[in-house]
């Protein structure tokens, strides 16, 4: 299923010309800081000196998780479909921020434990009504994994075919910080104590319980597969401890990169989706713009592992793509300065040489 991804790093042929254009703007070298890096990355991805991110789209993948039965979340599972309806009705944070910036919003059901009525903003790609409780058995079958990945691929293709030039991703699913922490532990070998955090507001006892559930789940999976988690393939890891919406996001990221389209990574859960995607195809990382460092304690550890410099640090812990859409105006500004800011030559300003 992963053979379809043959992702090449963006060509470096334009890099020297891009850097020269950035450096010749009417400013001291490097004076626009991280905006310069974003402009350079976008120009390289799009292979142009005039990158454009004006046609963005936010896609939120939603699913439920069987491991919620182990008491790892403050909120009951029925909150997932309730929040999906909140997105669709325009009442969520990401909804109002997308409206503010005129960014189309799409919600994709890949595993919500409820029947959802048809809606113009809703993509119906349900794999199952929730994953299985991975503390007791594998989270999903091979067929379900394939469906989840393909859901993300199809959504990315749908957007890019419609002219979208920047994809932003978000997620919704009660319990998915636990799933993400478990995937992170399996992917990079950190302890469950280091990967487990507060999620939607657990106290220290709740966080400790979450870490115990993660440890028990990974031991169960190692026994079932007969392999230490360090040796798991991407497929084995996903089937044993994955989540439908996280894997759909990973599929969308992989397909975005395959089609040479930049995408914005939101918070901790989206970063884990990228971490998984990177296990499948390492060059996917070249197409990712990191929106923010969240309040979830493992997120900084994960960003450091990915060698990522996020645009914002606002102490957010909301998820749902909220950090990605908040970073969007700055991403647009990176394009704007590169495309419209005067050069020393055009402005008749003496440079430092």
Rg (alpha carbons) of the chain, rounded to whole number? 20
Q: Which residue has the tokens 């929040």?
A: 83
Written as six digits, the tokens of 2 are 């992963």
Helix, strand or coil, per DSSP, at residue 241: helix
* Residue 245 appears among annotated catalytic residues: no
The C-alpha atoms of residue 70 and residue 68 are separated, in whole angstroms, by 5
**181 by DSSP, 3-state: which?**
helix
Q: How far apart are CA 220 and CA 229, in angstroms?
A: 11
Among 44, 74, 79, 50, smallest CA distance to 64 is for 79
Question: 146, 245, 296, 320: which is the annotated catalytic residue?
Answer: 320
CA distance 283 to 210: 32
Q: Give the max Cα distance, the chain.
A: 70
For the record, the structure tokens of 187 come out as 């992917």
Which residues carry out catalysis? Answer: 320
């Amino acid at each position: 299923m992963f053979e379809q991804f043959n992702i090449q790093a963006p060509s470096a042929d334009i890099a020297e010309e891009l850097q020269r254009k950035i450096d010749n703007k009417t400013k001291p070298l490097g004076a626009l800081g991280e905006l310069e890096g974003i402009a350079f990355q976008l120009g390289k991805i799009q292979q142009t000196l005039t990158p454009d991110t004006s046609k963005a789209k936010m896609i939120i993948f939603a699913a439920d998780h069987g491991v919620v039965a182990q008491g790892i979340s403050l909120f009951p599972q029925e909150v997932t479909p309730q929040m999906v309806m909140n997105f669709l009705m325009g009442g969520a944070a990401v909804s109002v921020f997308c409206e503010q910036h005129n960014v189309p919003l799409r919600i994709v059901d890949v595993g919500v434990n409820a029947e959802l009525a048809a809606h113009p903003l809703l993509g119906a790609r349900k794999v199952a009504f929730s994953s299985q409780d991975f503390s007791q058995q594998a989270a999903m079958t091979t067929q379900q994994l394939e469906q989840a990945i393909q859901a993300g691929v199809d959504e990315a293709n749908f957007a890019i075919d419609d002219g979208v030039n920047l994809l932003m991703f978000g997620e919704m699913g009660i319990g998915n910080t636990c799933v993400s922490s478990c995937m992170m532990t399996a992917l990079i070998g950190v302890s469950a104590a280091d990967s487990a955090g507060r999620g939607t507001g657990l106290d220290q006892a709740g966080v400790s319980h979450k870490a115990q559930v993660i440890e028990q789940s990974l031991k169960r999976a190692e026994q079932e597969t007969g392999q230490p988690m360090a040796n798991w393939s991407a497929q084995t890891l996903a089937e044993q401890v994955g989540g439908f919406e996280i894997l759909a996001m990973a599929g969308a990221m992989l397909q975005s990169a395959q089609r040479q389209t930049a995408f914005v990574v939101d918070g901790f859960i989206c970063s884990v989706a990228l971490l998984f995607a990177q296990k499948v195809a390492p060059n996917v990382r070249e197409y990712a713009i990191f929106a923010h460092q969240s309040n979830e304690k493992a997120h900084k550890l994960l960003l450091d592992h990915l060698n990522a410099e996020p645009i914002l640090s606002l102490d957010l812990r909301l998820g749902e793509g909220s950090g990605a859409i908040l970073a969007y105006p700055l991403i647009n500004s990176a394009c704007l300065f590169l495309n419209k800011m005067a050069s020393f030559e055009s402005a008749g300003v003496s440079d430092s040489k």
